[in-house]
């Protein structure tokens, strides 16, 4: 009996070891299918995250599955703008902010800037000032709005209201900052960086560098101004003296936050409801909800407005005490039902900046996949040592905008950028230059009256340009005094130029006509209003859907 038990035990041990060895040899990512060499060996070699499944939604974002849709007008063009002709586009899957960026979200950004770049330091003063929203947008020559001027941004009563007074450039800079802060938190959670960086400040006003996602990926030893070795987290190598850094292959970092493209925004606003019927594009949807009316027909809320907009002349919120849109200016986010993608306020509350340069025509003949006008292709600057150039305090780059506002574009710790040159464009068939904002619209090939044959008077080459907008300039003297040069020409015919950015969606200040997601308007990227806000988006990497492409039934 005893011998039989021993045999049974040995047999079980053999079977178990065989099962373990089979599991080990066939487990995902242990052995390369290309070479047979081991992957992720503890002793070194090729390291790759073979257990990665799919991208998670970053903070504040919801998933928007891509697809095809009819972009452009679906109702009469009563304004006769002729700028939203219907065209079919395809949008890749992406993530988008559930709500517009709120005051408290933007205040977190301002607080971080103030801690890391104290405005009391003369070298940093314009970093903080340049990020501040313009609270004076609430003023009106014939209106008493000082309550919003003084309180809207910072008072807790408006914490979850959409931020306004932010121009397009500031919105882009916020998205860059958000990318780095979210990825910094992700690396802390994964154990690559010590958590004390979460509460770092720069009280002495001597900043050696901040966390930058691109710097960390391209030259990690220069992160935090070269002090990252002292900020290593719990994830250690076999040799504790060698720092462990996450890579692109680690899957620990998110893609960048950014402004959505116009096509993405419109696709997300139209949503799924009413967009598709038996796999055919219907193209008859007027609002980001089903139906042709601004009021809900649901039993419990029947008659309630589905968005915050201007009802008519002198009517911004309805009769007091009666259920109208419950707001006269902006309203707290999530005050109205979301659309089918789970996105709030895709009509009303505030209009929103998108990434695109404005042109009257969406050129679907040139591209009908991820359409976007505004590409300026950049590359990292490389130093004499062959490594990327990381900016320091002395290299902070500022832009002086046409109205005189100064905005920081490159902060200490970030990688310096430059436009791609001939070495990247030579003999390429997909693009030929860095700046493609005017591609097929405004260049000699597409300008209607361009006098391309006049070689005697080169100055006349711009006389009949399609987009000959005013050319105002702002310069500063040695004392920092601004010198504003106004364009006094009487021959200008348009306000459209490469600084005209599209904004979408109706606002609290707009009539219902502008709630249609297809409507397009533009505004200079360096100016702000009390009715334009923004939300961020993020590209999805990997599969188009989040359920493995399986069909779903309702």
Question: What is the 8-class DSSP label of residue 469?
Answer: -
> pLDDT tens, 446-469?
555 545 444 445 454 455 566 778
pLDDT at 470: 84
Residue 304: pLDDT band with limits 50, 70, 90? confident
Q: How far apart are CA 219 and CA 214, in angstroms?
A: 8
Residue 374 backbone zone (phi > 0: left; psi -120 to 50: alpha; other: beta): left
- Quick one: pLDDT at residue 332? 97
**Confidence label for 240 from pLDDT (cuts 50, 70 and 90):** low
What pLDDT score does 5 carry? 59
Lowest mean pLDDT among 96-100, 249-253, 300-304, 529-533: 300-304
- pLDDT digits 0-9 by tens, 130-167: 999 999 999 999 999 999 999 999 999 999 999 999 99
C-alpha distances (whole Å) from 372 to each of 91, 131, 321 are 10, 26, 45
Kindly list the structural domains of the chain, giving each domain's residue range(s) and its CATH number in brackets, ordered by start: 57-197+239-368+502-547 (3.90.1580.10), 438-497 (no CATH)
Whether residue 220 contacts residue 195, with contact meaning beta carbons closer than 8 Å, is answered with no
pLDDT higher than 50, residue 28: no
Q: How confident is the model at residue 503 (pLDDT cuts 50, 70, 90)?
A: very high
Q: Which two tokens stand for residue 198?
A: 């979460």
Alpha carbons 439 and 447: distance in angstroms, whole number: 11
Q: Is-contact 176 169, C-beta < 8 A?
A: no
Higher pLDDT, 440 or 330: 330
Are 102 and 132 a contacting pair, CB within 8 Å? Answer: no
| CA proximity to 290, closest of 305, 275, 277 | 275
Averaged pLDDT, 399-421: 90
| 349 vs 23: which has the higher pLDDT | 349
pLDDT of residue 185 exceeding 90, the answer is: yes
Q: What's the chain's average pLDDT?
A: 84
SS3 116: helix
pLDDT at 354 over 80: yes
Is the overall model pTM greater than 0.85, yes or no?
yes
Per the CB < 8 A criterion, the answer to whether 64 and 96 are in contact is yes
| Both structure tokens of 99 | 């709500």
pLDDT band at 209 (very low <50, low <70, confident <90, very high): confident
Mean pLDDT of 164-190: 96
- SS3 label, residue 450: coil
Q: Which residues neighbour 529 within 8 Å (Cβ) at sequence distance 6 or greater?
A: 137, 164, 165, 523
Cα gap 498→443, rounded to integer Å: 12
Q: What is the C-alpha radius of gyration for the chain, rounded to an integer number of angstroms?
A: 28
Question: What is the pLDDT averaged over residues 33-43?
Answer: 86
**Span 506-533, average pLDDT:** 95
CA 78 vs CA 73, 74, 75, 144, 513: distances in Å: 11, 12, 9, 32, 9
Give me the pLDDT at residue 478, please.
64
pLDDT of residue 417: 93
Q: How far apart are the first and last CA of the chain?
A: 61
Helix (H) or strand (E) holding 506: none
Asked if 72 and 238 touch (Cβ cutoff 8 Å), the reply is no
State the pLDDT confidence band at 6, using cuts at 50, 70 and 90: low
Look at residue 190 and tell me whether its pLDDT is greater than 80.
Answer: yes
């Amino acid at each position: 009996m005893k011998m039989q038990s021993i045999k049974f035990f040995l047999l079980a041990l053999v079977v178990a070891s065989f099962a373990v060895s089979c599991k080990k040899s066939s487990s995902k990512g242990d052995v390369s299918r290309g070479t047979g060499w081991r992957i992720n060996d503890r002793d070194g070699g090729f390291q790759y995250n073979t257990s990665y499944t799919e991208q998670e939604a970053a903070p504040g974002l919801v998933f928007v599955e891509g697809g095809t849709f009819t972009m452009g007008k679906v109702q009469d063009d009563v304004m006769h703008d002729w700028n939203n002709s219907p065209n079919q586009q395809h949008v890749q899957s992406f993530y988008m902010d559930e709500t517009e960026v709120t005051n408290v979200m933007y205040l977190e950004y301002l607080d971080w800037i103030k801690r890391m770049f104290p405005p009391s330091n003369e070298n940093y003063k314009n970093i903080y000032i340049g990020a501040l929203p313009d609270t004076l947008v609430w003023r009106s020559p014939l209106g008493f709005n000082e309550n919003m001027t003084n309180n809207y941004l910072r008072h807790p009563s408006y914490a979850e209201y959409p931020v306004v007074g932010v121009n397009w450039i500031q919105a882009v800079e916020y998205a860059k900052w958000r990318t780095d802060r979210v990825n910094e938190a992700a690396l802390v959670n994964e154990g690559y960086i010590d958590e004390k960086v979460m509460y770092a400040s720069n009280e002495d006003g001597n900043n050696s560098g901040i966390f930058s996602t691109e710097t960390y990926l391209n030259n990690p030893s220069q992160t935090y101004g070269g002090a990252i070795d002292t900020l290593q987290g719990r994830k250690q190598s076999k040799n504790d003296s060698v720092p462990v850094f996450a890579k692109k292959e680690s899957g620990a970092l998110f893609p960048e936050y950014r402004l959505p493209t116009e096509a993405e925004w419109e696709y997300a606003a139209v949503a799924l409801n009413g967009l598709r019927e038996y796999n055919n594009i219907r193209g008859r949807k007027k609002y980001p909800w089903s139906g042709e009316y601004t009021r809900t027909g649901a039993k419990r809320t029947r008659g309630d407005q589905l968005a915050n907009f201007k009802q008519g002349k002198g009517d911004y919120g309805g009769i007091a005490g009666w259920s109208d849109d419950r707001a006269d200016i902006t309203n707290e986010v999530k005050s109205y039902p979301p659309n089918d993608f789970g996105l709030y306020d895709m009509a009303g509350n505030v209009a929103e900046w998108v990434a695109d340069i404005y042109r009257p025509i969406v050129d679907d003949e040139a591209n009908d996949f991820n359409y976007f006008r505004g590409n300026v292709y950049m590359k990292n600057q490389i130093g004499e040592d062959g490594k990327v150039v990381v900016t320091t305090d002395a290299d902070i780059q500022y832009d002086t905008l046409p109205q005189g506002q100064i905005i920081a574009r490159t902060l200490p710790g970030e990688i310096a950028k430059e436009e791609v040159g001939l070495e990247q464009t030579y003999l390429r068939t997909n693009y030929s230059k860095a700046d493609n904002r005017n591609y097929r619209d405004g260049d000699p090939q597409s300008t209607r009256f361009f006098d391309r044959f006049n070689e005697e008077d080169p100055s006349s080459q711009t006389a009949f340009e399609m987009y000959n907008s005013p050319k105002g300039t702002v310069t500063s003297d040695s004392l920092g005094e601004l010198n504003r040069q106004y364009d006094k020409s009487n021959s200008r015919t348009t306000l459209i130029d490469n600084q005209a950015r599209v904004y979408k969606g109706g606002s609290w200040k707009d009539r219902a006509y502008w709630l249609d997601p297809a409507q397009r308007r533009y505004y200079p990227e360096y100016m702000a209003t009390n009715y334009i806000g923004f939300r961020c988006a993020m590209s999805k990497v990997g599969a188009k859907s989040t359920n493995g492409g399986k069909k779903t039934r309702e």
